[in-house]
Structure 1
Amino acid sequence: MDVTEYVLSAGKAVLDMMEREWQPLNAVELEHQLDKAVEQILESDLASTLKRKKSPCIYEQLTQSQANAAPQMRTESGSAEAVESQPKRDSVDDAAVQHISELLQSSKAGTRMAGRARLSLSHTVLLSLTLLSERVSYRAVSDRFQLEKGNIHRIFFSFCERINRLEEKLIRWPVGSDAAETLVPFSSLLGKGEQENGKGVPQVLGVLGHTWIPIRLPVGKRVMERAKMKMETHPGSWLRLELVCDHRGQILHCRAGTGLEDGRGTSLRNRLAQQPDLTPSGSFLVARAGYPLTPQILTPYENSCGRKEELFNQTLEEHFGTFDQAVAKLKARFQRLKYLDVGNFERARAVVLTACVLHNVFLNTGQEFEGPFETEEAPIPEREVAVDEEGILHRDGVAELLFKNVNSARI
């Protein structure tokens, strides 16, 4: 490599660094920086004058006031980062900010967040949680945090990227002792001593379902996606979020897509069939009609012909209520999921996954959502997309056991 190539390589590296670290200031940010610089110059001149005149008391008071008014400094990864003035915290709890900051700091999810402004980690988390928790525009957050709007956009998606890297750690399928703690009886009407074909009481590991997340796409892309998806009920500007939740509302499985990848629950069905240890003996998932009926996933009877089938379907509805509440709380805590103004599906997936990971973080730390929330209307029943003989036999066995218990209790 000759000198010219070395120079070109060095120049490219410098340009890349400038593009990563520098962004133009908007009017608000520029005015803020100018006011700050002028104030520092005036205070420095006044302090020098007072010091020369030997007025120690006044000088000490001024020095103390300067120290109190100066921006706080924090250190992250060995470099000092200026902390912005404290914005109001309407919907973001201080404990949540601290916990997520510690989680990111202790993880290997990445280095400093992207963006020109060197925010402290806690303020980066606060900014990102504000965008997730409130339905506010980037312009409003720009005014609140005194940052350029485009820079906030970069900081937010850098935060989402780092949280996404924690998915495998925080959204985990329960196995072993964790699975045992997750299992709940299929029905309270089934006593602990009941047996089904020599097995223990039927137990539910989780509820499989989905919800839809609306997305704003550019006009041209929106038309193209609608034509590609050929969906009347849900156009291309919707993202389907497939979840498995346990009885506490914790997310065990999360998958976001446009509906093009495969049928409902197909990949999960295949995974459970190939790895039987994921569903302990006598346990299964429950799902609404439209999902595959298998030994690992039980769905309602489409045509209830008798009391046995109706009792089974009613019991499933109790579990579906748990799932609906979990989804409602997820959307109530993270208001941005009610309408994602992100422009493309990849970024939409990143935001949705971030919300799901943080949902588990809050549950694991005992921070239950206590605000008002509204559950979505139950989806229109759909026909079963796939049925196998073992699934039919398993469902019939559980329904028969439940029906016998109810009748014996009445006698």
Structure 2
Amino acid sequence: MTIIFQKLIDEIGLILSGCNKVSLETKILSSVWVLSNQESFRGIADRFGLEKGQLHRIFIEFCESVSSINEKYITWPSAPRAEVIMKSFEETSSIPNVIGCIDGSYINLSGQATECRASYINRKGNSSMQLQAVCDHEMKFIDVYTGWPGSVHDSRVFKASPLFNYLEQNGIVNDGHILGDSAYPLQNYLLTPYRDNGHLNNYQKRYNFLQSSCRSVIERTFALLKGKFRRLKYLDMHKIEKVPDVIMAACVLHNFIREHESSCEVESDPEDSDMSFNDPCNSQGQNEKSCTKRDRIANLL
């Protein structure tokens, strides 16, 4: 039994209950196997000496239990930790005061996952649920928000998230910011690229290049997440209300593993390509403070 598996047992053993006929080790191992593979439930149930329906119940209970401790493993950085993250990002990207990178990813669902299937169809024509996440320089999630249908735009998901309310009220220490693509609104705490209208100056082009390079860490984090937990590539679940627990559980386990074990990086799959929208600095009602901050940083690079 590996040390990391024993730590997982110690972490959720008291939360995970249910049928005494199935050992705690079997519950955890079978559930992690379900998350990590795209093998059928029947095949996995046979592998662990369980019935198919029994495995379904164990898996949902496991995901609910792991999801319930998300605040322990997915945490917004304190001031001292934020300083470490900012320093690391600046060393690799030259952009100062970056505390994390934000993006959204589609978690594909089966067509039977919901009666309101049309609302879950994303721009690629697949039924999916949105996963919004912010990661740090170590590819650990520092914020995760999920549950919205795939048809909903990233900016709307962001504005509905607890993170948006927190940042609106508190901002980020030391005039910090997160980096996002052009799908997100430019804010003092969220810096996005300049819209390439063919008239960008050299400072703006360099900023866009460095910002994009830095932001690639969230794409690699999503790739690592789905590489470990392949079930997220296609969730064949009939109860849509249980899907967020499965997604959150995978994100918690991702951080748990990153914390307790060194991992190999996975090549990112640019499945969620950027979508271009009007630059808020070229629109009415522009956020002058945010635009000035971005211009100041671009001129420093």
The TM-score bracket by the shorter chain reads 0.7 to 0.9
What is residue 96 of structure 1 aligned with on the other side? 4
2:294 to 357, 380, 395: 395
What is residue 242 of structure 2 aligned with on the other side? 347
Equivalent pair of 2:93/2:213 in contact (CA under 8 Å): no
CA distance in 1, matches of 2:252, 2:200: 42
Equivalent pair of 1:133/1:336 in contact (CA under 8 Å): yes
From the CA coordinates, give the structure whose radius of gyration is larger: 1
Structure 2 residue 28 is the aligned partner of structure 1 residue 125: yes
* 1:129–1:189 distance in 2 versus 1, CA, 3 Å: closer
Amino acid at match of 2:38: R
1:312 to 182, 207, 222: 207
1:204 to 71, 86, 98: 98
What is residue 276 of structure 2 aligned with on the other side? 382
What is residue 283 of structure 2 aligned with on the other side? none
Equivalent pair of 1:329/1:369 in contact (CA under 8 Å): no
What is residue 162 of structure 1 aligned with on the other side? 65
Per the TM alignment, residue 172 of structure 1 is displaced from its structure 2 partner at its CA by 0.6
2:112 to 205, 208, 218: 218
* 1:324–1:202 distance in 2 versus 1, CA, 3 Å: same
Q: TM-score, structure 1 length as denominator?
A: 0.65
Following superposition of structure 1 onto structure 2, how do residues 184-333 of structure 1 map, counting pairs within 5 Å?
184=87, 187-188=90-91, 202-218=96-112, 221=114, 224-226=116-118, 228=119, 233-235=123-125, 237-256=127-146, 257-259=148-150, 260=152, 263-266=156-159, 267=161, 268-276=163-171, 279-303=172-196, 305-333=200-228
Per the TM alignment, residue 373 of structure 1 is displaced from its structure 2 partner at its CA by 4.4
Per the TM alignment, residue 189 of structure 1 is displaced from its structure 2 partner at its CA by 8.8
| CA deviation map 1:100-151 (0-9, x unaligned) | 111113x6xx351x34x62221221111110011111111012111111001
CA distance in 2, matches of 1:333, 1:313: 31
CA distance in 2, matches of 1:372, 1:291: 26
Any unmatched runs of 5+ in structure 2? 281-285
Amino acid at match of 2:295: D
1:334 to 225, 229, 239: 229
* 1:233–1:325 distance in 2 versus 1, CA, 3 Å: same
Equivalent pair of 1:182/1:247 in contact (CA under 8 Å): yes
CA distance in 1, matches of 2:55, 2:22: 11
Q: Deviating runs (4+, > 6 A) in structure 1?
A: none
* 1:232–1:269 distance in 2 versus 1, CA, 3 Å: closer
Equivalent pair of 1:202/1:282 in contact (CA under 8 Å): no
* 1:310–1:215 distance in 2 versus 1, CA, 3 Å: same
Per the TM alignment, residue 324 of structure 1 is displaced from its structure 2 partner at its CA by 1.2
Higher relative contact order (CA 8 A, sep 6+): 2
2:258 to 338, 359, 363: 363
What is residue 195 of structure 1 aligned with on the other side? none
Q: TM-score, structure 2 length as denominator?
A: 0.87
Following superposition of structure 1 onto structure 2, how do residues 47-86 of structure 1 map, counting pairs within 5 Å?
none
Any unmatched runs of 5+ in structure 1? 1-92, 192-200, 403-411
What is residue 146 of structure 1 aligned with on the other side? 49
1:175 to 73, 78, 102: 78
Per the TM alignment, residue 234 of structure 1 is displaced from its structure 2 partner at its CA by 4.5
Per the TM alignment, residue 372 of structure 1 is displaced from its structure 2 partner at its CA by 5.2
| CA deviation map 1:78-108 (0-9, x unaligned) | xxxxxxxxxxxxxxx8443222111113x6x
CA distance in 2, matches of 1:331, 1:104: 22
Equivalent pair of 2:158/2:164 in contact (CA under 8 Å): yes
* 1:134–1:385 distance in 2 versus 1, CA, 3 Å: farther
Q: Output the aligned Cα RMSD.
A: 2.5
Moved more, 201-210 or 127-136: 201-210
Q: Secondary structure at the match of 2:130?
A: strand
Per the TM alignment, residue 178 of structure 1 is displaced from its structure 2 partner at its CA by 2.1
What is residue 408 of structure 1 aligned with on the other side? none
* 1:371–1:293 distance in 2 versus 1, CA, 3 Å: closer
**Matched residue count:** 289
What is residue 46 of structure 1 aligned with on the other side? none
* 1:124–1:371 distance in 2 versus 1, CA, 3 Å: farther
Equivalent pair of 1:184/1:205 in contact (CA under 8 Å): no
Equivalent pair of 2:175/2:189 in contact (CA under 8 Å): no
Amino acid at match of 1:124: K
* 1:118–1:288 distance in 2 versus 1, CA, 3 Å: same
CA distance in 2, matches of 1:290, 1:129: 33
CA distance in 2, matches of 1:381, 1:263: 14
Identity of aligned residues (%): 27
* 1:234–1:173 distance in 2 versus 1, CA, 3 Å: same
Amino acid at match of 1:310: K
CA distance in 2, matches of 1:384, 1:352: 32
Structure 2 residue 27 is the aligned partner of structure 1 residue 137: no
* 1:292–1:269 distance in 2 versus 1, CA, 3 Å: farther
